[in-house]
Structure 1
């Protein structure tokens, strides 16, 4: 799915995010209420929720524990006039290892990243569940430009 339209569902939007965009920036605030952003992968979605992985006790993990409100942004394309951007607002929670088997199955490159210490990585990597409030798309690849907000 490379394009969305007015008939696209919330599930279509999340499939677009996980399968087409994939690389995102997750933003929150730290314990001192300073902004924090981290590049990560949108790995999985189910039941209108988005799933990321974060290292337990890592910066993103601590930010989410401190302040669960999260903003996710991303863009993909070759130059401004051939790009698409997304935004997601919601609340993020550590759900320990929920859907971890499904996440690793859907994203087999994770096995390469953690080769040599895969089982250990599966312990310290926690699933972050994002309860989405809204998502948006701004697709400049189309003429006219396509804009839409998805309410969850």
Structure 2
């Protein structure tokens, strides 16, 4: 049976490594959120300096509050964007677990990111740094430069991806009200039940609010 979930799976168009590569090589600087001792969010600008098939790597100094929050929570979230303006931008968001790898990978990261020598110019000053790895998590790609918009989800490490979004159940009556309020016109109406094209959906919720028979659900 053709379902919204199966359509979502078929439309992914990049491997996880490609998303991670894009973050490092095309965007590089991200805005990372951690949580403090009072449970409140704190943000910091952090460069993602390297990647492999299923993880990202970055540096921080052990004397920073950011380091303390990473050690205590072992989790972060970030969003990275590239584009001249809103309608030409790509955003990639990640939520994931982190671990401290120590000093060993620092020479490799400095070689790949030579500007770091201007910030920490001596071997002695580099001792303040440690490497963190984001080794397990989920991510979302959101491309506003495409018409209609393009959205995709990905995962890395051992975590399983959770398909979030709006889906249409079998009790759809094909009335067309959902399509009439969809800003991206991303609902397939050539069959009943209708199918929401997940890779173009804004997650605005208009379809859920307008369906007269409750056939739209949020998962």
With normalisation by structure 1, the TM-score equals 0.89
Structure with greater Cα Rg: 2
1:80 pairs with 86, 89, 96, which one?
86
Give the 3-state SS of the residue equivalent to 1:95 in structure 2: strand
Stretches of structure 2 that go unaligned for 5 or more consecutive residues are 1-10, 157-219
Q: Provide the residue aligned with 1:123 in structure 2.
A: 127
Structure 2: how far apart are the matches of 1:93 and 1:15? 20
Count of residues in correspondence between the two structures: 146
Q: CA RMSD, aligned part only? A: 1.5
The structure carrying a bigger strand percent of its residues is 1
Structure 1: how far apart are the matches of 2:138 and 2:65? 24
* Per-residue CA distance 1:88-116 (angstroms, 9 max, x = gap): 0101121111421221111111112223x
2:147 pairs with 123, 128, 143, which one?
143
CA contact (8 A) 2:12 2:153 kept: no
With normalisation by structure 2, the TM-score equals 0.63
Question: Whose relative contact order is higher, 1 or 2, with alpha carbons under 8 Å and at least 6 apart?
Answer: 1
Structure 1: how far apart are the matches of 2:125 and 2:46? 16
